[in-house]
Amino acid sequence: MLSMTVWTPDAIRALGATTDVATAAKILRIGRTKAYALAKAEEFPCRIIRVGRRYLVTVQSILTLVAPDQSGSSQSSQQHQQLLGS
């Protein structure tokens, strides 16, 4: 059975300071392969921290995209839409 996590801002915050690319991709509804390709090309829509061969995504940058009013960021809604490609 397919498990569907509801990614509320609180659920995203509960991930801690960073998460892996696969989890960030699920939150952003990006395929895993595409997410890693974007990370490698330095085009992932959130802040990536490279640790050795590993990519980590900052939770704050995810929140800035998906919940701009609750992220504590001053980035505008228009900027979010540009980052998401809409």
Q: Which tens digit of pLDDT belongs to each residue from 27-80?
A: 999 999 999 999 999 999 999 999 999 999 999 999 999 988 876 554 545 555
- Distance CA(4)–CA(50), nearest Å, equals 28
Long-range pairs of 45-53 with CB within 8 A, sequence gap ≥ 24? 45/83, 45/84, 45/85, 48/21, 49/18
Cα four-point dihedral sign 33, 30, 28, 65: positive
pTM more than 0.85: no
Cα distances (angstroms) measured from residue 16 to each of 6, 57, 62: 17, 11, 12
Q: For the chain, what are the domain ranges?
A: 9-84
Per the document, the length of the chain is: 86
pLDDT for the residue 4: 74
Flag whether pLDDT at 26 surpasses 90: yes
Give the integer Cα–Cα distance in Å for 35 and 10. 23
